[in-house]
Amino acid sequence: MLNFVTTNPGKVREATEYLDDEVVQFDFDYPEIQADDLGAVAAHGARSAYRAADGPVIVDDAGLFIDTFDGFPGPYSSYVEDTVGVEGVWRMTEPEDDHAAAFKTVIAYCDGGDFAATPEPGGVDRGESAPDERRGQDLASDERGAATTDEQVQGGEESLPVKLFEGRVPGEIVAPRGDGGFGFDPIFEHDGTTFAEMSTEEKNAVSHRGRALAKFAEWYAER
Ligand code: ITT
Ligand code: NA
């Protein structure tokens, strides 16, 4: 059994499609550190949640990055959804010439152990990934990557190893369409369709979370 640490049932629905293991929503509002780095937020969340949970945990920290605003709202997406709102983000972007954006997510996994003995998955996206996804791949395949080594030497709570998996999807900010999905899905268009117009399966096949989950699921199957 895998605990998905989130207050967002939409994320759990998406994860369930990927994992053979039972995925349970662990509704634990972990303290989100102020950081402009999704990986750092997710890693910190996974460590604090692991201490409160019974078994392995994943935390997924995501954000909407709008090019013309230099990536805003990015790590502050949750706050912006609550304040400006989804429709408001569309109105902010509409007058701009460039509507390009991306969703990104980082999944952080923690089970109290280290990862040295777990084989890396062979060839997920290998050779055909965009620069950003390659970075995700490298991050995921570095068993003692930035989020673990540096923090391990500090000892204490921060010594719990965490493994990170990234996903990214490019798109455009558009006027809201569709009733599916959650969050900013109605204003995020990918290949002519908003995420809110897609089924969970269709969204997973192209989404940031789908990509990160695919990498995670392949690795987790070996664990
Ligand atoms: P947890 O932190 O409890 O998991 P959350 O919904 O706050 O739930 P995030 O901080 O990762 O999750 O998400 C930041 C914001 O981005 C939040 O407003 C989400 O609704 C939105 N978001 C995340 N993933 C999304 C997706 O796949 N589609 C649309 N919006 C998404
Ligand atoms: Na959050």
pLDDT digit string, tens, across residues 118-159: 888 754 433 333 333 333 333 433 333 334 333 333 444 567
CA distance 40 to 108: 9
CB distance 121 to ligand 1 below 6 Å: no
CA dihedral angle for residue 212, residue 214, residue 215, residue 220, rounded to 10 degrees: 120
CB distance 141 to ligand 1 below 6 Å: no
Average pLDDT over residues 181-197: 98
- Ligand 1: residue whose CA is nearest its atom 20: 183
Least-confidence region, from 29-33, 138-142, 175-179: 138-142
In the 8-state DSSP scheme, what is residue 127? T
Q: What is the ipTM of this complex?
A: 0.97
Q: Which residues surround ligand 2, an ion (CB under 5 A)?
A: 78
CB distance 209 to ligand 1 below 6 Å: yes
Catalytic residue among 37, 60, 61, 67: 61
What is the domain class of 2-222 according to CATH? alpha beta
Cβ-proximal residues to 94 (8 Å cutoff; 6+ apart), any chain? 175
Each domain of the chain, given as residue ranges in start order, spans 2-222
pLDDT at residue number 81: 97
Give strand pairing partners of 100.
172
Determine the 3-state secondary structure of 61 from DSSP: strand
Which of the listed ranges 12-16, 132-136, 181-185 does the model predict with the highest average pLDDT? 181-185
Percent of the chain with pLDDT over 70: 83
Helix and strand numbers (H, E) in the chain are 8, 8
CA distance 43 to 33: 10
Amino acid, res. 179: D
Least-confidence region, from 25-39, 106-120, 122-136, 151-165: 122-136
Give strand pairing partners of 124.
none
